[in-house]
Structure 1
Amino acid sequence: MHVVVNAAMSADGKLSSRQRDQIAISGEADFARVDRLRADSDAVVVGVGTVLADDPHLTVKDEQLCQQRLERGDPEQPARVVVDSKGRTPDDAAILDDAATTYVCLSEAAPIDRRMELADRAELVTAGDDRVALLRAFATLQEQGLEQVMVEGGGELIFSLFEAGLVDELRVFVGPKVIGGRDAPTLADGDGFIDEFPLLSLERVERLDDGVLLCWTVDS
């Protein structure tokens, strides 16, 4: 499995405001890049916090890219994955529609009634006691044929993936906007590292509109 974390952050490293409001950080050029990256992926992954805050659909928008997927023998849309330890994904979330296969990764702590409701709308992957055990969950996803995986956030999930050693690449669009706020989410939240920090190798820098795309690989 190859895991690419993709994110857009402000010039001061924020993903959104302290109120968790969705803020436009990138423009059309980056939106097109993200759509291509989705189209090249077997699955697009987000944490439940992103679902609750933004209600993303996580589908490829460009019809030509969808057609190219079909021509190479892939489903029209990549699978969608929610990491959701307690089963908080709303029943009417956009990610649970029939546009693509959706997997919801749960822990054993998810209530039975929520499991039953979600099972009508998604494929369930259970791994871990109180929180989703990412290594086990991603191994199960790989068994389902999901090899090229794109992660779109949020900061808690991204930190946890780095902590588990699951990230292969990090691609970040840094936009020309300052958001501020000590409580605003950053690229990698969670507990934070105090030693053995993940190290990155810069592979590519590209200007997009008034921002910059930074592409790193994760040192093994």
Structure 2
Amino acid sequence: MHVVVNAATSADGKLSSRRREQIPISGDADFTRVDRLRADSDAVVVGVGTVLADDPHLTVKEEALIDERRDRGEPAHPARVVVDSRARTPTDAAVLDDAATTYVCTSERATIDDRMDLADRAELVTAGDDRVDLLRAFATLQAQGLERIMVEGGGELIFSLFEDGLVDELRVFVGPTVIGGRDAPTLADGEGFVADFPTLELESLERVGEGALLTWRTANG
């Protein structure tokens, strides 16, 4: 399995404002790049916070890319994965429509009723007691043939993936915007590291539109 974390941050490293509202950080050139990355993936992963804040569809937008997937014998869109320890994903969320297969990874902490409601709309993966055990959940996804994984956030999930050593590659578009705010979400939130900090190797740096795209490899990659 190869896991790519993809994110867009402001120049000061924020994902959105302190109100958790979506901020226009990137432009058309980066949207095209992200759409290509989705089209080349087997699954797109987000945390439930992203679903609750943005209600994303997580599908490929460009028809030519959809055609390429079909020509390769793949579904029109990659599978969608929501990491949701307490099964809080609304049953009418866009990510649960029938455009593509959706997996919801949850834990034993979620009530049986909430899990059963989601099981009517998605493939349920229960891994972990109080929170999703990402190592187990990703192993289950890999067993389903999902090898090329794209992670689109948010910061809590990204931190947890680094904590568990699951990230192979980090791609960050840095936009020409300053958001600020001590409570604004950053690329990797969670508890934070105090030792054994993950190290990255810069693979490339390129200008994309009015911003810059940095591609890093981890020791896994």
Same-fold status (TM-score > 0.5): yes
Give the structure 1 partner of residue 40 of structure 2.
40
Give the structure 2 partner of residue 49 of structure 1.
49
- Cα drift, residue 131 of structure 1: 0.2
CA-to-aligned-CA distance 1:53-100 (integer Å, 9 cap, x gap)? 000000000011001001011111100000000000001100000000
Give the structure 2 partner of residue 64 of structure 1.
64
Is 1:29 aligned to 2:29, yes or no? Answer: yes
Separation in 2, partners of 1:34, 1:157: 19
Give the structure 2 partner of residue 118 of structure 1.
118
- Cα drift, residue 219 of structure 1: 2.0
Is 1:142 aligned to 2:142, yes or no? Answer: yes
Separation in 2, partners of 1:219, 1:107: 29
Letter of the structure 1 residue corresponding to residue 118 of structure 2:
L
Separation in 2, partners of 1:86, 1:66: 33
Give the structure 2 partner of residue 76 of structure 1.
76
Is 1:212 aligned to 2:212, yes or no? Answer: yes
Separation in 1, partners of 2:209, 2:178: 16
Letter of the structure 2 residue corresponding to residue 164 of structure 1:
D
Separation in 1, partners of 2:77, 2:174: 27
Q: CA RMSD, aligned part only? A: 0.5
Give the structure 2 partner of residue 104 of structure 1.
104
Give the structure 2 partner of residue 197 of structure 1.
197
Separation in 1, partners of 2:206, 2:219: 21
Separation in 2, partners of 1:115, 1:157: 20
Letter of the structure 2 residue corresponding to residue 88 of structure 1:
R
Q: TM-score when scaled to structure 2?
A: 0.99
- Gap runs ≥5 in structure 2: none
Give the structure 2 partner of residue 12 of structure 1.
12
Is 1:181 aligned to 2:177, yes or no? Answer: no
CA-to-aligned-CA distance 1:92-120 (integer Å, 9 cap, x gap)? 10000000000000000111111111011
Structure 2 SS opposite 1:187: coil
- Gap runs ≥5 in structure 1: none
- Cα drift, residue 11 of structure 1: 0.2
Letter of the structure 1 residue corresponding to residue 43 of structure 2:
A
Identity %: 78
Q: TM-score when scaled to structure 1?
A: 0.99
- Cα drift, residue 209 of structure 1: 1.2
Deviation >4 Å, runs of 4+: none
Separation in 1, partners of 2:209, 2:44: 25
Separation in 1, partners of 2:117, 2:175: 39
